[in-house]
Amino acid sequence: MIQASPLSAPTADRSDRLALLFLIACTLLSVPLVFTGILPSWLAAAAFIGLVAVFVWRAVVTRTFLPATAVDWPNVLALLLLPVGLWASHDTAASWPAITKIIAGFGIFYGLAGLAGSRWADALPWLFLAASALAGVAVLVGTRWFTSKLPFVPDQIYAALPSLSSSNPLAGFHPNLAGALMAALFLPALALAVGSREQRLRAAAIAVALLTGLALFLTQSRGAWAGLAAGLLIAPVLRYRRWWIVIAVVAAVTVVVLVLRGPALVNGLMQAPLNEETAINTLPGRLELWSRALAVLRDTGLTGVGPGLFEPVIMRLYPPFFTGIQGNFFHAHNIYLQTAVDFGVGGTVALIALGLGLGASLVAATRQVPDAALAGGRRLSQHSLAIGLFGSLVAMAAHGLVDSSLSPPRGYVVAFALFGMAAALANHLLRLPTSDLS
């Protein structure tokens, strides 16, 4: 066993303190940037200046501007595209919340990514579960529930739920956004519940999985349920190498069902909505919005039209017929099209590269199973959380085909917190001793 040098412990303590202070500073300074729409403008400006100062301070202390991750260039590219989005925007006031949320996501991502290699990385499973529990409670009390999508969900459940006042800034989650967030949080909690050998952590993970699973069910978000199914199907391949057989069987059964029932399913999806709430949530509504987004890209694909301006631009220049009667569609309901509309095709390239880079780093970090005896099984818990976060990436990528959960600032920042945690775990696990898969 290699003996630690006399300077290794003080150096490690200093590095741990730096990682924790950097995370705390990034988190506190990012919060005002998330709520730019309801906070004074001077507070957002001060938070931005403070965030820049924190990164400069870290660069002076560590001689590296950013904690190294597998997705540095996609994140930097997203920042470089912000001036392009402002230049293309005809309403900078409407675009600012979308600009500041990206800066906040950048800060939180690297604040968490900086935990890799520190002793605080051992606490990431607990940090995830605590944050997920708070998010689950917030969704249960702060969502504007729609109860008309699926008739088999009893309306009485919603009447029994506590709720925040509509004037509360924490209230007002859209069910589709809430569903996407709960699906992304449910998968890592489930992975910890199944894979961890720490009894208290497993008990907490089971409780969080039940909470987020209930909230996900109540959202009635079919897109979020489909994303969850994709994550549940694909993520286990990181732990069980023969899981591809299960994927192949499910794919074959799906193809058979589509061949036999495809026309009837499509005909059902193409039916006109029964009420205003469901108009955008049908296949005709989605197809119309996607066609309008493609029309925007055909005309302004290099720069986009500016963040946060999809609906006003569509209503003025590309008026829809099916969804245009009610409006209030806000975004393209496709994360890849919406990013391109906001910042041009470069934004979509950065987004896809971010997802692929994080996914590849998690695959590399989980190729071997850690020795559960090391550090009381904490390594195995981190490994399980990494697999669950890979499932979250899959779920968000799949759900992004039919919705845009990154458009609201709160959804964007939660997603980038998960991305930052994934980057931290990937880097941390690659530095630890492992044992071969059996």
Q: pLDDT band at 369, cuts 50/70/90? A: low
- 3-class secondary-structure state, position 60: helix
User: Residue 84: CA atoms inside 13 Å, Cβ hemisphere, count?
Assistant: 19
Q: Residue 437: its pLDDT value, please?
A: 38
Give CA–CA dist 217/206, Å, rounded: 16
| Per-residue model confidence as pLDDT tens digits over 97-119 | 999 999 999 999 999 999 998 88
pLDDT reported for residue 150? 65
- Bridge partner residues of 369 (DSSP): 435
- For 379-409, the pLDDT digits (tens) are 888 999 999 999 999 999 999 999 988 988 9
pLDDT of 431 reads 78
Q: Mean pLDDT across the chain, nearest whole number?
A: 85
The more confidently predicted of residues 324 and 193 is 193
Give the pLDDT confidence score for residue 282 in this predicted structure. 72
> What percentage of the chain has pLDDT greater than the value 90?
53
Residue, of 36 and 113, whose pLDDT is higher: 113
What digits encode the pLDDT tens for the residues 270-323?
Answer: 454 444 445 666 777 788 889 999 999 999 888 999 998 998 888 888 888 776
Read off the amino acid at residue 367: R
Higher per-residue confidence, 212 vs 174: 212
Two structure tokens written together for 305: 């039209």
**pLDDT band at 262; cut points 50, 70, 90:** low
Q: Could you give the percent of the chain with pLDDT greater than 70?
A: 84
Residues 160-189, mean pLDDT to the nearest whole number: 80
pLDDT at 26 over 70: yes
More confident residue, 377 or 27: 27
User: Alpha-carbon distance 391 to 400, whole Å?
Assistant: 14
Region 327-344: mean pLDDT is 89
Report whether pLDDT(267) > 60: no
Q: At what angle do helices 199-219 and 175-195 cross, to 10 degrees?
A: 150
pLDDT at 9 over 80: no
Which range has highest mean pLDDT (141-145, 274-278, 373-377, 416-420)? 416-420
Contacts of 100 (CB under 8 A, 6+ apart): 33, 34, 36, 44, 48, 409
Do 153 and 221 touch, CB atoms closer than 8 A?
no
Give 339's contacts (C-beta < 8 A, 6+ positions apart).
Answer: 347, 348, 350, 351, 406
- Across residues 250-279, what is the average pLDDT? 65
Indicate the pLDDT class of residue 257, thresholds 50, 70 and 90.
confident
Predicted confidence at residue 4, as pLDDT, reads: 41
Mean pLDDT across the stretch 168-174?
67
The reported pLDDT for the residue numbered 85 is 92
Contact (CB, 8 A) for 240 and 234: no
Does 3 score more than 60 pLDDT? no
Interhelix angle for 283-300 vs 335-343, to 10°? 30
pLDDT tens digit string along 144-154? 877 666 666 77
